[in-house]
Structure 1
Amino acid sequence: MATAEQKQEGLHRDSSDFVITQTFDAPRELVFQSWVEPERLAQWWGPVGFELSVLALELQPGGVFHYGMRAENGYEMWGKFTYQQIEAPERIVSILSFADKQGNPVQHPVSATWPLESFNTMTLTEENGKTTMTLRSTPHKATDEQHETFKQGFESMKQGFKATFGQLAQYLARVQ
């Protein structure tokens, strides 16, 4: 549910929330480190078949994770997380956008009506040595049309995140 603050600012609409959850056979601290350490992120973040370059990672409110991804065919794209809150090792709140090489937000490469930014909350809980990660994402400062496009993209986002989180699971299995 949206907090009163989020509703007041108009930044959060429950009907537009994309939520995905996955459990990893790894302790919460390791999963958290895998999200915030450049050398770990480079091992798993992004679409399958892309090589990740970490251009900046400043783990503090207002700091950014700016990254580039390169496909085997040479296609390149960039993204950026702007951190809002960090509560190690249980929560990261950020604003995510596609970006240019300099880190400026840019429109989705294949959708003119995709929201320019999304507001993301990633939470980690641990039980019996396993970590459950929940990612909640909603359009940020978006029009009604952008919210609708975002909702229509849920299935594609689910497939993409499942593949990315599969890479995270493989990484975690290798480093434990």
Structure 2
Amino acid sequence: MGSAEIATAGVDTADREIVITRAISAPRHLVFEAFTEVRHLSQWWGPNGFTTTTRAFEFRVGGAWDFVMHGPDGTDYQEWISWTEITPPERIALRHGEFRADPNAFESVLTFATDGAGTRIEMRTLFPTKELRDEAAEKYHAIEGGEQTLNNLAAYVTEIIQKGVEC
């Protein structure tokens, strides 16, 4: 059981969650790999029009990704992710906030399931409160942004396959 599941076992969390799924026409190991190295993440991470500058990256349980997302309007968003569980090539759990001790940080669990020759990825995000979930959805367009992010991932790994490049 991951940290998000332990904290919410037996508790209805639907009003604090955002769940996004996407079928990707790429093998699971490749889709998972796109999350494990900054050289990949920097190519697709974020909603449409955003770019990412990494300050530090260490993909391991307890490691962190410290980065800035640059919005299309020029706004910079300080971001920080700590990896809480990594089970290749099936699952990644993380804590995501603006900084290490952010009291409003949320937890996400990404699962990667084989779906025929492709992969079905599910991104389940749990916010500390319903209000923070609603703010993320309404003010920051988290649902649309999450869908765009997974679409960008799908386009990125499809391009890798088409070019025949090893991950």
Same fold (TM over 0.5): yes
Deviation, 1:153, is 4.2
Give the equivalent residue in structure 2 for 1:28: 28
Paired with 2:66 and 2:143, the residues of 1 have a C-alpha distance of 22
- The 3 A distance-change label for structure 1 pair 22 and 78 is same
Tell me how many residue pairs correspond in the alignment.
Answer: 155
Map Cα deviations across residues 9-40 of structure 1 (whole Å, 9 max, x no partner): x9x83432211110100001111111111111
Aligned letter for 2:78? W
> Is contact 1:18–1:151 with CA below 8 Å preserved after alignment?
no
Higher mean C-alpha displacement, 30-39 vs 157-166:
157-166
Give the equivalent residue in structure 2 for 1:133: 121
Paired with 1:151 and 1:51, the residues of 2 have a C-alpha distance of 24
> Is contact 2:56–2:67 with CA below 8 Å preserved after alignment?
yes
Map Cα deviations across residues 20-74 of structure 1 (whole Å, 9 max, x no partner): 1101000011111111111110110012222211222212111111111224554
Give the equivalent residue in structure 1 for 2:165: none
- The 3 A distance-change label for structure 1 pair 154 and 69 is closer
Higher mean C-alpha displacement, 123-132 vs 70-79:
70-79
SS of equivalent to 2:61: coil
Q: Gaps (5+ residues) in structure 1?
A: 107-114
- The 3 A distance-change label for structure 1 pair 71 and 16 is closer
- The 3 A distance-change label for structure 1 pair 129 and 50 is same
Paired with 1:167 and 1:21, the residues of 2 have a C-alpha distance of 13
> Could you tell me the TM-score, scaled by structure 2's length?
0.81
- The 3 A distance-change label for structure 1 pair 72 and 149 is closer
Identity across matched positions, percent: 26
Map Cα deviations across residues 65-84 of structure 1 (whole Å, 9 max, x no partner): 11112245542222111111
Map Cα deviations across residues 128-162 of structure 1 (whole Å, 9 max, x no partner): 211000011112xx3xxx42341464462221111
SS of equivalent to 1:159: helix
Runs of 4+ in structure 1 deviating by more than 6 angstroms, as ranges, are none
Give the equivalent residue in structure 2 for 1:122: 110
Q: Cα RMSD over matched residues?
A: 2.3
Give the equivalent residue in structure 2 for 1:157: 142
Q: Gaps (5+ residues) in structure 2?
A: 162-167
> Could you tell me the TM-score, scaled by structure 1's length?
0.77
Aligned letter for 1:129? A
> Is contact 2:104–2:132 with CA below 8 Å preserved after alignment?
no
Aligned letter for 1:138? L
